[in-house]
Amino acid sequence: MTADLRRIYLNDVIARYRGLKSLADGAIVQLEGNELFQLFSEGGNSVAHLMKHLAGNMISRWSDFLTSDGESATRNRDAEFEIGEADDADALNAAWDQGWQTLLTTLESLTPDDLDKEVLIRGESHSVIEASNRQIAHYGMHVGQIVLLAKQSRSAAWKTLSIPKGRSQEFNAKMSDRTESLYRKGMLTGPSS
């Protein structure tokens, strides 16, 4: 892989992680009262559980990313799925922000040459690309769960984080107009639609 492709990968994966955070944040901010802790089934997870788990995973995986096993000795994964007295909304949001900050700071510090390096997760060797892809798949699954749980909690009060139902054509036309404008301004080159 060339240095240019490595840089493109790093920029894209950072943007993808930021997109996941933005999506989850857009769901979490809509929750009111105890909805953060709402369980829909026995043995299920609340948004709070998922926030706590993802924060713990990110801090463990991305701290000392290139030099230590991503499953740190100080991590207690099972406790991430327990909500205690200290786990109020402020504490959960602080841990959530710390997890994402740890992840993004680490990714932004990587160089194209780092992508060939090997890292460990639970004693298993991964290239940096494999480790990053593994985590983005894991985080994407849980962010989807957060969005679904928040949407169920808010019901009719839910504000969509995507294209509203029945408005795809309107959205596509808006995007087409935007693209055409960029071509006219010379900000895009190549065939216009």
CB 39 within 8 A of CB 46: yes
Instruction: Give the DSSP per-residue string, 163-182.
Output: PPTT-HHHHHHHHHHHHHHH
Structural tokens at position 32: 């009111």
pLDDT (tens digit per residue) in 18-52: 999 999 999 999 999 999 999 999 999 999 999 99
Q: Give the mean pLDDT of the chain.
A: 94
pLDDT (tens digit per residue) in 91-138: 999 999 999 999 999 999 999 999 999 999 999 999 999 999 999 999
Burial 153-183 (b: 16+ CB within 10 A, else e): beeeeeeeeeeeeeeeeeeeeeeeeeeeeee
- Reported as type and span, the H/E element at residue 121 is strand 118-121
Query: What pLDDT is recorded for position 192?
Result: 55
pTM of the model: 0.88
